[in-house]
Copies of this chain bind each other. A is one copy, B any other.
Amino acid sequence: MNLILLSPEDIENDHLARVRDPRRLAHLTEVHRARAGDVMTLGIANGRLGRGALLTLDEREAVFDVSGLDQAPPPPLPVHLVLALPRPRMLARTLEHVTALGVKELTLLNTRRVEKSYWQSPELGDDKIRRHLVLGLEQARDTRLPTVTLAKGFRPFVEDRLPALLAGRQGLLAHPGMAEACPRGVETPTLLVVGPEGGFIPWEVERLLATGCRGIHLGPRILRVETAVTALLSRLF
């Protein structure tokens, strides 16, 4: 935790916040070895961040002075990431990576090569997803929670939702063998589509291109999804 992320329920007034959940209390005690008087980096979910003192800490709660939180969170990436649902363990890590990198809009998409069982995973529960997003924010010292949308049908997503998402955004489909190399240093709002392990099937590629995405590639190397997503975001933005 490079930042203690406070949720709205933690905030008592303009000056005080109380943290009571076991995860953050344990982290404060065991990892930070925090003591009353320590000044730490604090942030309010979807709000400002800055330095603030830990006023008291016991096994029940930690009380922080939040009167000095005067910084805006770091700028988000101008991207809506559409990612074929990864297998559960990789989903957890990928949610943390992309949140730390500054993604604020994420759609998890069904495709032919996504195993059906992945949609039953407890990792897709709201609480589980939120937990990984919070870990990513705490890592990167950010406060703005991404929104995560589940798109359980490929065709309905492409036909009903993709055209509206592409209004005002360039659409990029990352897929091996496409003609164009991944561009660098993009500032235009972008929708980035990344397939599953094993890739999109040709029909899916065709539908995404026909709906207005441009195909891009990252070179001849085949990367795991979590590596590819980080590589694409870092090269693009």
Binding site for B on A (CB under 8 A): 2, 74, 96-97, 100-102, 139-142, 184-185, 218-224, 227, 230-235
Question: Inside 8 A of A224's CB, which chain B residues have their CB?
Answer: 96-97, 100, 139
Contact call A221/B140, Cβ cutoff below 8 A: yes
Q: Which of B74, B185, B234 contacts A231 (CB under 8 A)?
A: B234
Q: 12 pairs across A/B with beta carbons < 8 Å?
A: A2-B222, A74-B219, A96-B224, A100-B222, A101-B221, A140-B221, A140-B223, A141-B220, A184-B184, A184-B235, A231-B233, A234-B235
Question: Inside 8 A of A219's CB, which chain B residues have their CB?
Answer: 74
* A150 CB to nearest B CB, Å: 24
Given contacts A184-B184, A184-B185, contact A139 B223 (CB under 8 A): yes
Contact call A139/B231, Cβ cutoff below 8 A: no
Find the B residue at minimum CB distance from A142. Answer: B221
Question: Inside 8 A of A218's CB, which chain B residues have their CB?
Answer: 234
